[in-house]
């Protein structure tokens, strides 16, 4: 493998608009480590509602952010797809006008399966010479898709993959699935972490809403959805009444196990602190004794490579997880529960973890940085 020319510009289609700074995702995290003078972040939707009829550029720090036009059109009734198609058509002329008529030879388009329809539109309209397709989730396996929509998305996925010079996936599950689907080689390229953000103990006192909670604190940070085994967390709270279960993150009631959540609300050792700004998350992690990753075993859950794994590891704190494929390679540091009893026993063990294991955990973190992932991604054969 040889590094791509330093003269190339990277057109990165985001998952969320750039100004959604409270959210973390793979694309945004990688962009933060890339050479800003050769990078354009393509917002999947405009940050603010305007009457713009062309792509608009703004600069945020060192990052060039391009906002798509036609965002005055509503999103309902499928109009958002018309808006996305029209925006994709205009992008080609805007790239020629701003980067020169030879922009295809000097640019790399990066798209993901997380914005599959937009990714397809861009590939069709731009006809890029250099295309990277990064598979971050099992977007074809989401349970809420109709058969007809799944078939349409599969055809889009196959077309993007066919035209890609680089096809990567964040988990071995997705590597195997994508290779079987496309009959093309797929590179395993796991997620990463902002090492400095999570490794360093934040300055100042503990957050006000956690400082009064007694130790030991068993903490889950993240969105509470169908991917989270809430039933298991309820059992943890009941089995370990002297420990305090801290839940930090938004609750998606239409996806979560509401019966178990309601039971947990009645327990004195369970604390729901709600969603927090991303910059605040390290403070809650460092204020905890054991960090929990109670993922379910649904196929679309098993396929992903949770960012939380890397963020937890970077803190140096003990971590306990269900037997999710993404944690197996970290079994020296992460306690893995293959059933409910094993999960709870792993928590007990983690509470007495020795310093040597914590030091070993910290020693591997630099190899898991976003820069390492970017350096591997931006290579061509």
- 214 with 73, same domain: the answer is no
Same domain, 155 and 65: yes
372 found inside a domain: no
Q: What local confidence, expressed as pLDDT, does residue 254 receive?
A: 62
Same domain, yes or no: 179 and 256 = no
What integer pLDDT is reported at residue 91 of this predicted model? 95
Residues 221 and 337 both lie in one domain: yes
So what's the pLDDT on residue 203?
82
Residue 111: closest CA among 45, 161, 59, 70: 161
Whether 111 has a pLDDT exceeding 90, the answer reads yes
Residues 6+ apart with CB under 8 A from 147: none
In a domain, 318, yes or no: yes
Greater confidence (128 vs 200) lies with 128
Answer with the one of 189, 217, 241 that is the final residue of a domain.
189
Q: Which of 159, 189, 219 is the last residue of a domain?
A: 189
Tell whether 328 and 203 lie within a shared domain.
Answer: yes
Please tell me the predicted confidence (pLDDT) of residue 74.
Answer: 81
Judge whether 380 lies within some domain. Answer: no
**285-344 pLDDT per residue, tens:** 999 999 999 999 988 888 999 999 999 999 999 999 999 999 999 999 999 999 999 999
What total number of domains does the chain contain? 2
- At 154, which CATH number? 3.40.50.2000
Give the tens place of pLDDT for each residue, 142-155.
888 999 999 999 99
Residue 30 lies in a domain: yes
pLDDT of residue 374: 94
The residue with greater pLDDT, 359 or 178, is 178
Arithmetic mean of pLDDT, 364-372:
94
Is 10 found in the same domain as 145?
yes
31: in domain: yes
Q: What percent of the chain has pLDDT over 90?
A: 75
Q: Taking Cα atoms as reference points, which of 16, 22, 14 lies closest to residue 40?
A: 14
Question: Do 177 and 240 reside in the same domain of the chain?
Answer: no
pLDDT score at 380: 52
At residue 257, does pLDDT exceed 80? no
Residue 2 has what pLDDT?
A: 39
- Asked if the structure places residue 312 within a domain, the reply is yes
The whole-number pLDDT of residue 256 equals: 63
178 & 203 share domain: no
- Examine residue 379 and state whether it is found in any structural domain, yes or no: no
Last residue of a domain, one of 147, 165, 189: 189
pLDDT at 6 over 70: no
For residues 79 and 233, which has the higher predicted lDDT (pLDDT)?
Answer: 233
Q: Looking at residue 1, what is its pLDDT?
A: 39
pTM: 0.90
pLDDT band at 381 (very low <50, low <70, confident <90, very high): very low
Same domain, 73 and 160: yes
Comparing C-alpha atoms, which of 15, 167, 143 is closest to residue 176? 167
Q: Which domain covers residue 61, as residue numbers?
A: 2-189
Q: Does 216 lie in the same domain as 110?
A: no
pLDDT at 217 > cutoff 60 = yes
210 in the same domain as 183:
no
Tell me what pLDDT residue 137 has: 93
Do the domain assignments include residue 298?
yes
Asked if residue 160 and residue 233 are part of one domain, the reply reads no
pLDDT tens for each residue of 19-41: 987 778 999 999 999 988 889 99
pLDDT digits (tens, 9 = 90+) for 160-204: 999 999 999 999 999 999 999 999 999 999 999 999 999 988 888
Mean pLDDT taken over the chain: 92
């Amino acid at each position: 493998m040889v590094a791509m020319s330093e003269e190339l510009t990277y057109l990165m289609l985001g998952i969320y608009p750039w100004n959604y700074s409270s959210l973390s995702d793979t694309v945004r995290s990688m962009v933060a480590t890339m050479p800003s003078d050769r990078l354009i972040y393509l917002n999947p939707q405009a940050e603010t509602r305007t009457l713009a009829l062309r792509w608009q550029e703004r600069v945020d720090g060192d990052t060039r952010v391009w906002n798509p036009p036609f965002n005055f059109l509503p999103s309902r009734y499928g109009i958002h797809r018309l808006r996305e198609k029209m925006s994709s058509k205009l992008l080609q002329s805007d790239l020629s006008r701003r980067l020169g008529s030879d922009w295809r030879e000097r640019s790399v388009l990066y798209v993901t399966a997380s914005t599959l329809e937009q990714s397809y539109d861009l590939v069709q309209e731009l006809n890029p010479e250099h295309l990277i397709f990064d598979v971050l989730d099992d977007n074809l396996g989401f349970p809420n898709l109709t058969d007809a929509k799944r078939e349409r998305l599969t055809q889009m996925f196959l077309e993007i993959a066919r035209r890609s010079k680089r096809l990567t996936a964040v988990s071995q599950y997705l590597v195997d699935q994508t290779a079987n689907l496309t009959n093309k080689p797929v590179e395993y390229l796991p997620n990463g972490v902002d090492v400095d953000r999570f490794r360093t103990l934040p300055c100042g006192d503990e957050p006000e809403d956690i400082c009064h909670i007694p130790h030991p604190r068993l903490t889950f940070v993240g969105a509470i959805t169908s991917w989270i085994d809430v039933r298991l967390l309820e059992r943890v709270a009941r089995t370990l009444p002297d420990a305090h279960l801290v839940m930090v993150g938004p609750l998606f009631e239409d996806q979560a196990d509401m019966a178990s959540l309601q039971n947990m609300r009645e327990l004195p050792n369970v604390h729901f602190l709600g969603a927090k700004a991303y910059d605040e998350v390290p403070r809650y992690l460092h204020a905890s004794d054991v960090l929990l990753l109670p993922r379910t075993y649904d196929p679309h859950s098993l396929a992903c490579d949770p960012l939380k794994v890397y963020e937890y590891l970077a803190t140096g704190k003990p971590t306990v997880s269900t037997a999710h494929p993404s944690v197996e390679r970290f079994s020296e540091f992460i306690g893995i529960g293959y059933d409910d009893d094993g999960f709870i026993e792993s928590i007990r063990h983690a509470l007495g973890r020795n310093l040597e294991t914590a030091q070993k955990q910290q020693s591997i973190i630099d190899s898991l940085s976003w820069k390492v992932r970017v350096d591997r991604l931006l290579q061509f054969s």
